[in-house]
Amino acid sequence: MMHILYAAEGIMDDASPEPIPASDKDFKALLEYLGSGRGPAFISPQRFAQLLHMDIQTLANSMLLPVNTLLHAPESAHLQVRLRDALRVIQAGLAVSGSVEPTLRWFKESPLQPFGQKTAQRLCAEGRSEDLLRYLQSMEAGFAG
């Protein structure tokens, strides 16, 4: 089942007057929003930060990248891989929780015991999104972790 990721309605991106798409309607619309009209392979770091309710410096720190990469080289392959991986993990988290805001909080804040108390966001920054996806698949199947 496809879910949409969203930030609170009415929050606007600094670079665009377009609001973040609202809940549970159209995942494709969210991907288009995150892509800033630059195609399906691009995710705007600024819009991704908006989705997670954080500023660009906080997002850069959480991704273990210099803020200049997010601001001046948003098309960087390394950055784009991290953003896409994080989005995949968030989407998989929605399959388990069924609710957007708790999933985003889980992604950013919840320490995961099987991963040494690291958050999902930190694990994505470390390149461990595939481990997280397997973990979430086992949770969705009903296994405790």
Q: What are the pLDDT digits (tens) for 111-140?
A: 999 999 999 999 999 999 999 999 998 887
Q: How confident is the model at residue 35 (pLDDT cuts 50, 70, 90)?
A: confident
Q: How confident is the model at residue 33 (pLDDT cuts 50, 70, 90)?
A: confident
Q: How confident is the model at residue 108 (pLDDT cuts 50, 70, 90)?
A: very high
| Residue 87 structure tokens | 């989005």
Q: What is the dihedral of CA 14, 63, 107, 82, to 10 degrees?
A: 90
CA distance 76 to 60: 13
| Residue 139 structure tokens | 């949770």
Of 56-60, 62-66, 92-96, 113-117, the least confident: 92-96
CA distance 35 to 48: 9
Residue whose structure tokens are 């099987």: 114
Q: What is the mean pLDDT of residues 34-53?
A: 86
Residue whose structure tokens are 């601001």: 71
Q: 97: burial class by Cβ within 10 Å (0-12, 13-18, 19+)?
A: middle
The chain-wide mean pLDDT, for the chain, equals 80
Of 5-9, 53-57, 100-104, 120-124, the least confident: 5-9
Highest averaged pLDDT of the listed ranges 13-27, 48-62, 90-104? 48-62
CA distance 66 to 57: 8
More confident site: 103 or 1: 103
> Would you say residue 15 has pLDDT above 60?
no
Q: Do 71 and 65 form a contact (C-beta atoms < 8 A)?
A: no
Q: What is the pLDDT of residue 4?
A: 35
